[in-house]
Amino acid sequence: MGSAPRVVLGVAGGIAAYKAVELLRQLTETGHDVTVVPTAAALEFVGAPTWAALSGKPVSASTWDRVHEVPHVRIGQEADLVVVAPATANVLAKAAHGIADDLLTNTLLTARCPVVMAPAMHTEMWENAATQANVATLRARGVLVVEPAVGRLTGKDSGKGRLPEPEELAYLCRRVLDGRGELDLKGRRVVVSSGGTREHLDPVRYLGNRSSGRQGHALARAAVARGAEVVLVSSSGLPDPAGAKVVRVTSAVEMHDAVLTEAASADAVVMAAAVADYRPAERLGTKRKKTDSLRVEFVQNPDILRALVEQRPPGQVLVGFAAETGDDHATVLEHGHAKLARKGCDLLVVNEVGESGHPTGFEGTHNAATVLGADGSVTEVPLVTKDALADVIWDCVSARLP
């Protein structure tokens, strides 16, 4: 994009307006030209001088300021993206019904660019039938309405309705602006697993692996941006992707139970987690004392991918991952082909891993992989960001969904 992308940041009148200040900073510092359009109620939470200072532009909520520039039409017409964060129940209702009684709602009516809305409100308001109907209407029109996060709300309340973290919303905005905002997964429910499981020996020690969870989180973020309802089953400590329901687990058994529960109604499941093959037969209730030698008996963990294959509903697409190293018996790809045949999934993402510092696989921000299909297809992906690899995987999944 030659010139700076033009983003309209709409801010509605909710307490989460203070978090939009950080979203504004994230966008301006990554080279975006941001115009802030708050509602009058939003200015009760964060004043116009703050928005003006950080955006470098005058700020108004009224259609009557600078009338000669016709701002109620021009701002929406010139935007490359409109993002509303927070989007209150009131603004969602107005947008769904075409009500334009201030600068923000006029801008939404005139925008011909992608629109992202990040709702934030109390749980009861989000779950109200009127709000859910308005969200469904907006999504049917192509608006990307992000699911709220679960967590602390105003006062002592907790629940679903929290604004996702600004860093994750900024990622979503950049992705849409980069042209990856197609909603080919709209109406689909997908489950992604991420992170390395931990198998505890005692309250202090555990067996684990080097998986950071970055690839699984990238898959979840990409699926949200493509319009899917996303469940992320994760053992990673990474921030929750904006718009995804996150189920926290630790062990392989916990991940098995959570993934199978969520997968029962999913259109696609992507097993990006690094799941331990074995766990200690006994977990001690107290710390093991240091001795000259230690003998631990292990038992096999459940095979989550195989269980998914056995229970999958018609039309569901299953994707496995194989972090491999070549050996005297076979190459990385040969091991991958054998695993694909053994597991019975639709796609298998094969990537070579090595010691810490290896350019692909665990811990890093980039990955290279080969996506093998049960239909004989082979998709080679050179060293790219994990976000880019996530899109290739979803392209493969989307092409196989009924």
Enzyme catalytic residues: 209
Nearest in space to 212 (alpha carbons), one of 240, 243, 236:
236
Using alpha carbons, list the distances in angstroms from residue 380 to 320, 331, 351: 16, 16, 10
Sign of the C-alpha dihedral computed for residues 269, 275, 280 and 283 taken in this order: negative
Interatomic CA distance for residues 231 and 240, integer angstroms: 11
Quote the CA–CA distance of 369 and 233 in Å, as a whole number. Answer: 22
Q: How many CB atoms lie within 10 A of CB 105?
A: 23
Number of CB atoms found within 10 A of residue 238's CB: 17
CA atoms lying within 13 Å on the CB side of residue 54: 19
Determine contact, residues 155/122, Cβ cutoff 8 Å.
Answer: no
Task: Please name which of 259, 349, 272 lies closest in space to residue 311, comparing C-alpha atoms.
Answer: 259
Q: Provide the residue type at 61 as one letter.
A: A
